[in-house]
Amino acid sequence: MQQRCALKLHLDPKQDTRVEREIQAAKNLQHPALATLLEDGLISVGGRQTRFVAWDFIEGESLDARITKGPLSETGTLQIALDVVSAVATLWSRHIVHRDIAPKNIMVKPDSRAVLIDLGGARHLDNTTLTLPDSSSGRLDICRQSRLRAEHALTCASDIFALGIVMFECLLGTIQLAEINTS
C-alpha cells in the first residue's frame, strides 16, 4: 500500500546537527495535533548524499493560506487554539519548545482540526543551543527577547505568546508582520 507523505530535503550540510535534533524531537511523538515522522535517511540527489525527512501528509491547507481568505470564526479560531495548545503541551512534556508557532506552521484539515508542523527550529532544553546570541529567524513580533538572545531559560511561554498573536491574526483575517532572518 502506498502512503502519501510530505518530504523535506536538507541540502545544507552545515544544518546536519539541527536536522538531527528535529528528527530526535519528532521520534516517538504521537499526537493528533502534531505532524508524524514516518522515516528519515539519506538519498542521492544529483550525485550528492542528501538528508531527507518524510512526514505524514496532512490533508488540508496551511493556516496562512486560510487567513488570506478572510477572518476565521471565533469557533474556528478557538478550535485551532485548542489543538495547538495541546500540541505545545505534548512538546513541553518532553522539554521541547517549538519556537516557530506561526500560520505557515499550522495545517488546518478539512474537519477544521489543526496540526502543528515543522520542528526544524524546535529546541530540546536538554541540548545545548545552536542559535548564536543576537541571531534568530521567524517573525519579529513573535520573537521574544529571550529567544533573540538565545537564552537557556526558554520555556513554552514563548510558544503560547506566539499562538496568541496567531489567534489574533485568525480573527482579523490578516497576517500582521513579516518574517525575519538575522542568522
Which grid coordinates are listed for 77? 479560531
> Degrees (nearest 5) of the Cα angle 22, 28, 32?
95
| C-beta of residue 53 within 8 angstroms of C-beta of residue 40 | yes
Active site residues: 100
| C-beta of residue 99 within 8 angstroms of C-beta of residue 117 | no
Backbone angles phi, psi at 50, to 5 degrees: -130, 135
Q: How many CB atoms lie within 10 A of CB 24?
A: 16
| C-beta of residue 74 within 8 angstroms of C-beta of residue 82 | no
Which residues on neighbouring strands pair with residue 179, listed in sequence order? Answer: 139
Report d(CA 34, CA 8) in Å as an integer.
Answer: 16
| C-beta of residue 46 within 8 angstroms of C-beta of residue 87 | no
